[in-house]
Structure 1
Amino acid sequence: MYSPAFYAACTAGGITSCGLTHMTVTPLDLVKCNMQIDPAKYKSISSGFGVLLKEQGAKGFFRGWVPTLIGYSGQGACKFGFYEFFKKYYSDIAGPENAAKYKTLIYLAGSASAEVIADVALCPMEAVKVRVQTQPGFAKGLSDGFPKFVKAQGYAGLYKGIVPLWGRQIPCEYLLPTLLSP
């Protein structure tokens, strides 16, 4: 426990579970993002798939898969690895007796701390992914979308969504489940 090999395993688990799963559901995410941008055109999930198929063919279902894979792999790596790091770090600060007594709060603080870092890793790829998926003609994918995005908005533009991302991720992914668990 808590060796470099342990943290590496946690990081690999995060990459696998977050990166690959999010990449797999790229078509669903693509329809969801387009429903948010243009609800008149993308009225439902099923009609959204139909619109995409008609306008872009089957290939269109996977627009944005590369930034999704990279972004969520980075998020998962940080989320899983740093969660274990912060649990130990905060437990060591608290001492054995307080660590046991305040285990839930320590785990909650560890998970929230990890998510802050994880979302910093995710945010740039998420910004490019959404633009590629929702703005027709913007870019084909990450390789042409990233430089185009940076040219238009600068590197700071990649992080415009960080505060809302934290507002969604931290409570939903960690705080509520931790508080609701027995």
Structure 2
Amino acid sequence: MIDEEEVTEEVAPVKSGNMKIIIIAVVAAVLLSAAVVGGTLYFVMGQDGDDEASIEEPEEEEEVAEEIPLEPAQYHSMDPKFVVSFRDQRSARFMQFSIEVMARNKDIIKQVEDHSPAVRSSLLMLFDNQSYETMSTREGKQKLLDEIIVDINTTLKKVTGEEDLVELFEAAYFTSFVIQ
């Protein structure tokens, strides 16, 4: 019997303070997990009332798209190639490139063909303002493509006298590009 008494004395009773901390930690972990799962489902599934509205909106957009069908893209090559010289103190630098422009209206393509001298002259003035450093970067080339579209559209409006032209060129592309 002495052995049993010693054993019972050696086992210390669990303090109620430690047990409360463990219970609080478990409850907090369960609540945190539930909040994470609930938040994830909320953002992934969307709000309950907005499901019908979000389904209806694309249908309205599709109806608008059906009312105004887009014509297929038409491309026009701005031949001959452009050759531009850079003013550089170290050496003579040249840039040679070809451009194709895209519109969705055949009449606009015809207008740029009819007014090719005015369009090319305006573009040459635009290209003359470029620097070698700018044209050596991808960002510089993309900026120039954007400026080409604005310049061609502005020139066409000016030479045709139709300031309210809506359907103009949408994009420009380099089909060859060399810098020396």
Normalised TM-score (structure 2)? 0.28
If you compute each CA radius of gyration, which structure gives the higher value, 1 or 2? 2
- Higher helix fraction: Structure 1 or Structure 2? 1
